[in-house]
């Protein structure tokens, strides 16, 4: 897929409604030790991290689980996970630290400004009901020039994904994420990429740099 269109996404008031409006901690209470995308798509995510995340850096894995998909052969100084399920993150061998934090209740991240060299959100942006405020805060905690890599596929928990996500096509979703980053006003060099392997789950990425 080529992302070279001039697509402007206009959202309606109910764009961030979800089929399941119960508090997220109920849905995520049970750990899911499963892969949310297949190995080919995971490899595509790992390849991006290898390309954009510097060795010995301080990384934030936002909306984390028991897998972070970072390259195994690269040393990172400190990797912090933020997600909804403690047992999943406790089993994640790539995390040095983790915090259970509901971004749909409190979009402000529990970290100090300019403290991370990179941030990742893998197959999860579709669950945020206020992604612009969350991304604005990611801009606060990232150092200047730090990359953010947001990846997605065509698989998701339908009841917890926002209406906007459900209505749009895979292609339009990249432009939706770009619009979140633009509205957050703390990123530039926004790139939209199709990193899908030849077979299996597709994998798309929106990458930007903190300003
Ligand atoms: C489909 S899983 C993806 C997990 C992981 N990033 C991966 O690639 O395997 C969605 C993740 O989003 C996190 N999440 C969902 N809603 C959240 C919320 N309101 N606040 C913080 N994290 C949330 C969950 O903890 C869950 O691990």
Q: Is residue 72 part of a domain?
A: yes
Q: Is residue 91 part of a domain?
A: yes
- Structural domains in the chain (count): 1
| Residue nearest atom 16 in ligand 1 by C-alpha distance | 127
Residue 67 Cβ < 6 Å to ligand 1: yes
Burial of 13 (0-12, 13-18, 19+ CB in 10 A): exposed
pTM of this prediction exceeds 0.95: yes
Cα of 98 vs centre of ligand 1, distance in Å, is 13
Instruction: Pick from 25, 41, 60, 63 the residue to mutate for probing ligand 1's pocket: most ligand atoms within 8 Å of its CB.
Output: 63
CA dihedral over 35, 206, 93, 88, signed as positive or negative = negative
Largest CA distance in the chain: 45
Q: Is residue 132 part of a domain?
A: yes
Note the pLDDT of residue 9.
87
Residue 172 Cβ < 6 Å to ligand 1: no
Cα of 57 vs centre of ligand 1, distance in Å, is 22
Of all atoms in ligand 1, which is nearest to the CA of residue 85?
Answer: 25
Contact 205, 195 (CB under 8 A): yes
Per-residue exposure over 164-193, b if at least 16 CB sit within 10 Å of its own CB, e if not: bbeebeeeebbbbbbbbbeebebbeebebb
Instruction: Pick from 84, 201, 203 the residue to mutate for probing ligand 1's pocket: most ligand atoms within 8 Å of its CB.
Output: 84
Helix (H) or strand (E) holding 3: none
CA distance 71 to 51: 10
Q: Is residue 111 part of a domain?
A: yes
Q: Is residue 62 part of a domain?
A: yes
Q: Please report the beta strands in the chain, taking only residues with DSSP state E, as ranges in sequence order.
A: 58-62, 78-83, 97-100, 118-122, 147-152, 187-194, 204-210
Residue 28 Cβ < 6 Å to ligand 1: yes
What residues make up the domain containing 149?
A: 24-210
Whole-number CA gyration radius for the chain:
16
CATH number of the domain encompassing residue 107: 3.40.50.150
Note the pLDDT of residue 7.
85
- Conformation bin of residue 102: beta by default, left when phi > 0, alpha when psi is -120 to 50: beta
Note the pLDDT of residue 134.
98
Cα of 53 vs centre of ligand 1, distance in Å, is 21
Residue 127 Cβ < 6 Å to ligand 1: yes
Per-residue exposure over 29-51, b if at least 16 CB sit within 10 Å of its own CB, e if not: eebeeeebbeeebbebbbbbbee
Per-residue confidence in pLDDT tens, the chain, 211 aa: 999 888 888 899 999 999 999 999 999 999 999 999 999 999 999 999 999 999 999 999 999 999 999 999 999 999 999 999 999 999 999 999 999 999 999 999 999 999 999 999 999 999 999 999 999 999 999 999 999 999 999 999 999 999 999 999 999 999 999 999 999 999 999 999 999 999 999 999 999 999 9
Contact 210, 144 (CB under 8 A): yes
pLDDT one-digit tens code per residue, 48-103: 999 999 999 999 999 999 999 999 999 999 999 999 999 999 999 999 999 999 99
Q: Is residue 73 part of a domain?
A: yes
Q: Is residue 131 part of a domain?
A: yes
Alpha helices in 91-162 (DSSP H): 131-141
- Going from the C-alpha of 127 to that of each of 19, 54, 103, 164, the distances in angstroms are 11, 28, 9, 10
Q: Is residue 151 part of a domain?
A: yes
């Amino acid at each position: 897929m080529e992302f070279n269109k001039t697509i402007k996404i206009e959202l309606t008031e109910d764009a961030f409604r979800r089929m399941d409006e119960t508090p997220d901690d109920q849905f995520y209470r049970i750990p899911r030790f499963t892969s949310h995308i297949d190995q080919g798509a995971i490899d595509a995510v790992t390849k991006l991290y290898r390309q954009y995340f510097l060795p010995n850096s301080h990384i934030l894995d936002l909306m984390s689980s028991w897998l972070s998909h970072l390259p195994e052969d690269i040393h990172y100084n400190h990797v912090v996970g933020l997600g909804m399920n403690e047992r999943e993150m406790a089993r994640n061998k790539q995390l040095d630290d983790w915090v259970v934090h509901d971004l749909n209740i409190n979009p402000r991240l529990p970290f100090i400004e300019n403290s991370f060299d990179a941030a990742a959100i893998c197959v999860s942006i579709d669950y945020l009901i206020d992604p612009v405020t969350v991304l604005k805060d990611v801009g606060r905690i990232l150092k200047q020039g730090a990359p953010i890599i947001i990846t997605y596929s065509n698989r998701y928990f339908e009841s917890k994904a926002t209406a906007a996500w459900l209505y749009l096509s895979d292609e339009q979703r990249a432009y939706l994420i770009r619009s979140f980053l633009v509205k957050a006003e703390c990123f530039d060099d926004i790139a939209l990429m199709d990193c899908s392997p030849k077979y299996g789950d597709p994998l798309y990425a929106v990458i930007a740099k903190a300003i």
